[in-house]
Chain A
Amino acid sequence: MRLPKLAQFIIIVGVIYGLLKTPGIFLGKPIPESLIFMYMVLIVATVLLVMTSTDESTEELFRPIRALVEDPKKAFVRNIVFAVTPLIAGYIAYGLASRGGEPPAELRSIHPAPPSRMSAYGRPYDIATLENPLRRTEKEDAELFRSYVAEGAEIYFKNCFFCHGDKLDGRGHYAHGLSPRPLPFKGKDTIAQLSESYVFWRVVKGGPGLPAEGGPANSSMPAWEGKLTEEEVWKVILFLYDFTGNRPREWAREK
């Protein structure tokens, strides 16, 4: 038996909505409501477009609705629908309004743009051209490079792992007390996207050094300029990339 178009429409939209809710219900990793809203607008629009692409299909889709409104034989059903629909709308509106003091969703720039130049350790840096001075040892002197990475690891576990975690996954001891959470370095979507000069700027200047653009700044990262030397920062950066198996971003033009 072939389902009526309107029933198909309701089932498709309902099933997709259910699927979008699945990661949150079964895996504890919800797809944010803001994103589900965007997805559902698209799904509803697409299904409507497909179902109205021919006159016959359009007619079949809207026939039950038209009949509900116009057919005298459906007066009883019509009255029920007209009574229940506002009640459902009211219930949804009440549900949304009664949530009370929930803070609004946050819009935040994860990768704020770095300044072109900065001053640290008593001298200016051009971030656009800045490179990790220890990186060349990776090719020139492998043993020395390994020792830098090992020193970087030691510095990391003395200073950074409390928040960024012993697996560099952003789940350190203090991470749960911070909002936003510290960034994980594992995966392909954080430091793998960034040049070492960018990471250097974020470590050295921390949250207080974030630009006004995109503000107010929202980062609990301390400025390490007064606590670590320049060389120590570069060593930690070597360790971050080495441990996670990532490569720092390079600029094609310079290659």
Chain B
Amino acid sequence: MRKHIPGLLRVFALLLVILACSQTFLPSAFAGEGAGSSVISGEAAPAGAESSAPRLTKDDYPASSVVRPRVAVWMAAQMHLWFAAFVLAVPIFVVIIEAIGIVKKDERYDRMAYEFIRVSMTAYTLTAVTGVLFTVVLFAFYPHLMKYLLSIFKPTVFLYFLFFILENAALILYFRLWKRLKTGAGKIAHLCIGIALNLAGTAIMFVANAWVTFMMSPAGVDIKGAFQGDIWAAVHNNLWNPMNLHRFIANIAYGGSIVGSYAAYRFLSSTTEEEKAHYDWMGYTANLVSIGALLPLPFAGYWLTAEIYAYSQQMGITLMGGVFAWLFIIQAVIIGALFLAANYYLWCGLSRSEGGRRYTPYIKYIAFMVAVSFIVWFTPHTLILKPWEASALGGQYHPYLGPLGLMPAKNTAVNIMLLFTFLSFLFYRRANRVAVVSWAPYGKAAQAAIFSAAILNIVFLGVYYGYFANTVYKVASSVPQVATTLFAIIACLVIEFFIYRGAKEAGVYRWGRMPERSQYAIFLITVSFTWLMGLMGYVRAAIRQHWHVFSVMRDASADAFTPTIGYAANVVSVGTIIFMALVVFIFWLSGRKGADFGE
């Protein structure tokens, strides 16, 4: 019976969601269909305006003496989103790893993939539970908003449930058939089930993204919010595709980091050398996927932000130049910490092999460049000044540091940080190898030339187009900067592959020979990702300010104000702590009886 509990919980969760979305739930908001029903608080319905967005008053929001409605919805939404990211991200990672295992014919990959889909089962249950909680508080505290959104998106809600059922069916098949479909065509069929699981999961996210982005950049409605009948227009609003891409890539990075954390947890609690070696290898592979997915993420982020600016200058400036700009400084600090942690993990990894010692002297130079980039990355334009400092500087900008606060400097810094992190990886990769091809010195010189030219180009693009050209090119120059970074990385990797083809080993390579402190770097990466998702998710949602649906449906509740930065950061931080505690609980639960592939 016990093994059926997660499945039963999910079915129960689905029933509750259907109940919540049906119009029999919370009748106060949904009573009285027909003309005028969308105009609240006794206002007369203007002729022909029966489907426009409701104009609410404070009395239209159910009060609660137990919780602050906004905080309750915020926390429930955040928990659900984190778990949703977990269960969308990890299967992507698992299928990639299973596919690598099939191609490489390496049992270790299959074992790792299985181990992690097992861990995900508990997370699926928690995702469903938090999803129900989120739905309930949303309908309970914001019934009229939900009614309005449902009036537009009702068909997509049924689509959501359809994908939900498909995803669950695929998940159960994927997990239960793992050991039965181990070889030949059966294994390929199993991989296909995994791909179907991911397609359904991604489709769920895309549907939910449509609702979320509609609230930011409404489309398919007129100026009063009246739905024009084209649901595709509402779904395919300005921010839908940028958000889909950004979340998809971020999910891969997040999935890798979660798996990495699990591996670090198990590494630290391992008692045998064999276990240590396995979880060390798992942590390394997971981190590789995670950081690899992190590289193109700035592209997606630029696109999303550019679309926000293009849709509404007001939202754009609120986001990056107004009150939320300070949260971007916190974001910069966390991303910098993430890069440092990733580098540190690679530096520690040099100790796995005898040949790694050759590269340890270079660590300090890489660290210097990462630190300098990091400093530029988080230097704010508008400074936090004491009165005597403001008086000495004659304003809120620093005469020497001011230019570092602008986006071109940030873009330049983050690209250089990416390149030097890649250099750490390159050194790690060649640590235990000795090239045997005769042209190896020329190949390395070509790599050095590409790397140097890329840095020069990134700096030139940032300085010239950022400070000496028309502002119209300023944001646009970030794209060739990232393209330069990606080109340099790919070109160096291709040359690296040929230089070290058939290379000799410099010494014994031992998985598991890692200092324990390196594992905390992996935890730091996961916590950084989680925190970032919470903070930037808040910023993205909050730039609507006092609108439920931007410029169409006003928020008239007592909570229709932007909380202070400190308050928002506290809510997100408490959420992060609760979520990470639950993740550790999941890890503990999964490892309790042993997650051995052979059991």
* Interface, chain A (partner B; CB < 8 A): 23-24, 28-35, 38-39, 42-43, 45-47, 49-50, 52-55, 58, 102-116, 127-128, 170-171, 175, 179-181, 183-184, 187-189, 192-193, 195, 198, 212-214, 247-253, 255
Contacts and interface: CB of A to CB of B under 8 A. Distances in A.
Contact of B381 (A42, A189, A250): A189
A58 B370 CA distance: 21
B423 to A, nearest CB: 15
Contact of A107 (B336, B343, B384, B390): B384
Main secondary structure of the interface of B (DSSP, over half): helix
Contact of A213 (B351, B396, B515, B562): B562
B539 interface: no
B310 interface: yes
A115 B312 CA distance: 10
Contacts of B399: 29
A112 B386 contact: no
B467 A188 contact: yes
A246 B458 CA distance: 23
B325 interface: yes
Nearest to B326: A107
B556 interface: no
B333 interface: yes
Contacts of A43: 371
Nearest to A193: B471
Given A29-B399, A30-B389, A188-B467, A213 B382 contact: no
Contacts of A106: 384-385, 387, 390
A187 B402 contact: yes
Contacts of B562: 213
A40 to B, nearest CB: 11
B360 A53 contact: yes
Contacts of B471: 192-193, 247-250
A214 B380 CA distance: 17
Interface residues of B, number: 69
Chain A CB count within 10 A is highest, among B322, B325, B370, for: B322
A30 B392 contact: yes
24 contacts: A30-B389, A30-B392, A32-B384, A38-B333, A39-B375, A42-B378, A46-B371, A49-B367, A54-B351, A54-B360, A105-B384, A105-B385, A106-B384, A109-B325, A111-B322, A112-B317, A113-B315, A116-B551, A127-B314, A170-B395, A175-B394, A193-B406, A250-B471, A251-B313
B203 to A, nearest CB: 30
A45 B343 CA distance: 13
B517 interface: yes
B213 interface: no
The 4 closest A-B pairs by CB, nearest first: A111-B321, A214-B323, A113-B318, A53-B347
A175 B393 CA distance: 13
Contacts of A195: 313
A251 B472 contact: yes
Contact of A46 (B367, B392, B402): B367
Given A110-B382, A180-B395, A127 B313 contact: yes
Interface in B359-389: 360, 363-364, 367, 370-371, 374-375, 378-387, 389
Contact of A250 (B333, B340, B371, B472): B472
A32 B471 CA distance: 28
Contacts of A105: 384-386
B310 A251 contact: yes
Contacts of B561: 212
A33 B387 CA distance: 12
Interface string B288-321: 0000000000000000000001101111011001
A180 B323 contact: no
A204 to B, nearest CB: 16
Interface of B: 309-310, 312-315, 317-318, 321-323, 325-326, 333, 336, 340, 343-344, 347-348, 350-351, 360, 363-364, 367, 370-371, 374-375, 378-387, 389-390, 392-403, 405-406, 467, 470-472, 475-476, 515, 517, 545, 551, 561-562, 565
A104 to B, nearest CB: 8
Chain B CB count within 10 A is highest, among A43, A52, A113, A193, for: A113
Contacts of B384: 32, 34-35, 105-107
Contacts of A52: 517
Contact of B322 (A35, A46, A179, A213): A213
Contact of A116 (B312, B387, B398): B312
A121 to B, nearest CB: 21
A210 B318 CA distance: 13
Contacts of A253: 310
A31 B380 CA distance: 12
Contacts of B309: 251
A30 B472 contact: no
B383 A35 contact: yes
A34 to B, nearest CB: 4
Contacts of A47: 367
B526 to A, nearest CB: 18
A42 B334 CA distance: 11
Contacts of A212: 561
A108 B374 contact: no
Contacts of B348: 53-54
Nearest to B318: A113
Contacts of A46: 340, 367, 370-371, 374
A187 B321 CA distance: 17
Contact of A114 (B310, B313, B379, B395): B313
A170 B517 CA distance: 51
B445 to A, nearest CB: 27
Given A50-B367, A250-B472, A102 B397 contact: no
B350 A109 contact: no
Contacts of A24: 392
Nearest to A249: B471
Chain B CB count within 10 A is highest, among A47, A102, A214, for: A214
B515 A58 contact: yes
Given A46-B340, A193-B471, A128 B313 contact: yes
Contacts of B340: 45-46, 49
A180 B390 contact: yes
Contacts of A128: 312-314
Given A181-B394, A213-B322, A102 B386 contact: yes
A247 B470 contact: yes
B545 A213 contact: yes
Nearest to B467: A188
B99 to A, nearest CB: 33
A112 B314 contact: no
Nearest to A116: B314
Contacts of A28: 392
A193 B313 CA distance: 13
B394 A170 contact: yes
A109 B323 CA distance: 6
Contact of A29 (B343, B347, B400, B403): B400
A124 B344 CA distance: 56
A181 B476 CA distance: 32
Contacts of A38: 333, 378
A189 B403 contact: yes
Given A35-B401, A114-B317, A50 B389 contact: no
A33 B389 contact: yes
B398 A29 contact: yes
A39 B383 CA distance: 14
Contact of B382 (A108, A116, A170, A252): A108
